[in-house]
Amino acid sequence: MEPSKSASNRSSSKKRFRSSSIEGGVFRHSLCESSYVLFAPQHYEPNYAYPLLVWLHSPGCDETQLLRIMPFVSLRNYVAVAPQGLLRENCEESRQEGVEATGEKGYDWPETAEDVDLVWTRVLDALQAAQGRYHISPQRVFIAGCDRGGTMALRIALEWPGYFAGAASVCGAFPQGFAPLSRLRQARHLSLLLTVAQFSQTYGPQQAARDLRLLHAAGFNLLLRQYSCPHQLHEVMLADLNRWIMSEITGTDHFSSGSRRVAWG
């Protein structure tokens, strides 16, 4: 799923990077086994502690999706990093069901217990790489993703809440199975963003309403936004991701209307 304009292996201390730039933002693509892409904002100021955005790519894509989404999020506000998902043929979920049975290949975010632990290792490795290279505010680390990447972003934040200030899922459902709210007391400080496409056959308003009731009962600070489009990664969703993070950082509501903000507890 690409932006639309229409609506437990730690990497070695010696990293190999391929660098490129896009409109002044600098991307560094790790070439080691634990692959990730790093993004430095325009006019990077080493003395300023930047917010960090951890991005989990859409299923079937890879970590280089970060290059395509950051122009729609912001080229100035964040350091960002995107770890690579698990190759479907190598993950436990695919071994159980067979890759051919799903018809899907490429990198994904399967949700077996074993695979979630592998994903967390990759997320932590990427997060620590960003912290080691750039000046990051530890109180301003946000994790987000699209589709199953968004579902995994919520799961990771809820399972390891001490690392994050908030989590956002773009067109991705709330995680099911393996007790995602088992650390509710520790995770309740998290701010959450859910976006839903009105005409999606994958994750639509009815499913979002179900998740809303669950998160309401759990007492989370939640912003839910709905868009009149099919199931796609829309540029407006990415712009709203930026606005939501800035609202959380500044304490100022950057949304004038069209939002369903739900805050309890």
> Is 83 part of any domain?
yes
> Is 100 part of any domain?
yes
Structure tokens at 208: 């979002």
Model's pTM, two decimal places? 0.83
> Is 136 part of any domain?
yes
> Is 6 part of any domain?
no
Length of the chain: 265
- Residue 181 CB-density burial (10 A; 0-12 exposed, 13-18 middle, 19+ buried): middle
**Domain harbouring 82, CATH code:** 3.40.50.1820
Question: Which helix (H) or strand (E) element contains residue 223?
Answer: strand 221-227
> Is 178 part of any domain?
yes
> Is 86 part of any domain?
yes
> Is 7 part of any domain?
no
- Count of the separate structural domains present in the chain: 1
Q: How far apart are CA 260 and CA 196, in angstroms?
A: 12
For residue 247, give its domain range. Answer: 14-263
pLDDT 10s per residue in the chain (265 long)? Answer: 767 554 333 333 345 556 655 545 666 666 565 689 999 999 999 999 999 999 999 999 999 999 999 999 999 999 999 999 998 765 554 444 333 333 445 899 999 999 999 999 999 999 999 999 999 999 999 999 999 999 999 999 999 999 999 999 999 999 998 999 999 999 999 999 999 988 888 888 888 889 988 998 999 999 999 898 877 788 999 999 999 999 999 998 877 654 444 333 2
Neighbouring C-beta atoms of residue 15, cutoff 10 Å: 16
> Is 5 part of any domain?
no
